[in-house]
Amino acid sequence: MRVLSTIFLALSAPRSRGCHAFQSSRQNVRGRFASVQRGAISLGSTTLAPEEVLERVFEQDSRPIILFDGVCNLCNSAVNLALDWDPSGKLRFAALQSKVGQNLLQAHDRDANDISSIVFVTPKGAYTKSDAILGITQELNPLPFVPLKPLALAGQYMVPQILRDAVYDGVANNRYSIMGKRDECRFDADGEFDDRFVDDNLAEG
């Protein structure tokens, strides 16, 4: 259960008030950040309904999507970890602050600006807090022939959700004070992981 606990802490998303514009820098970790123009996260230019965006993102690609806090230092490191532990590419990613992220939140009856929890979005529904962590963990395979799905299932059935969520909230609410945050929003990938990050243009008409 120690491995599962480590992943739980790493993927927990903290609270934030949004992203700020920043200058693109090639010194960012592993080159997986893209510059954000001021106002790029606004929904003002979105012409599609949230339900239409939801249909679009799964129309030709059924892979689940992890919505993560784009300014959280630990969350961005966790995305790198998930990329490494998902060699077959079963998961996709999008920042909660992106247009796609905000629309997916609304499509599942959450506020567009609610980034209090990581969200695991599948064609069948969306999961938050500890359920999201366990759903993601089931898809990870850090070592050949050592899938984490059995550990995730054990955690789901052996630990009550109220307790799991309490641990999640305790970590999430203090994440910035522990790990800090950046004035950068991670919206896209650069290079070999392009197909792992959802194209934000899917939220446009």
Q: Model confidence over 112-135: pLDDT tens digits?
A: 999 899 999 999 999 999 999 999
Complete edge-to-edge strand list for the sheet that includes strand 65-68: 92-95, 65-68, 119-122, 125-128
Q: Say what the pLDDT of residue 25 is.
A: 30
Kindly state the percentage of the chain with pLDDT values over 90. Answer: 45
Contact yes or no for 7/140 (Cβ under 8 A)? yes
State how far the Cα of 205 lies from the Cα of 189, in Å rounded to an integer.
Answer: 22
State how far the Cα of 162 lies from the Cα of 44, in Å rounded to an integer.
Answer: 37
Of 126-135, 164-173, 191-200, the one with minimum mean pLDDT is: 191-200
Q: Mean pLDDT, to the nearest integer, of 139-161?
A: 86
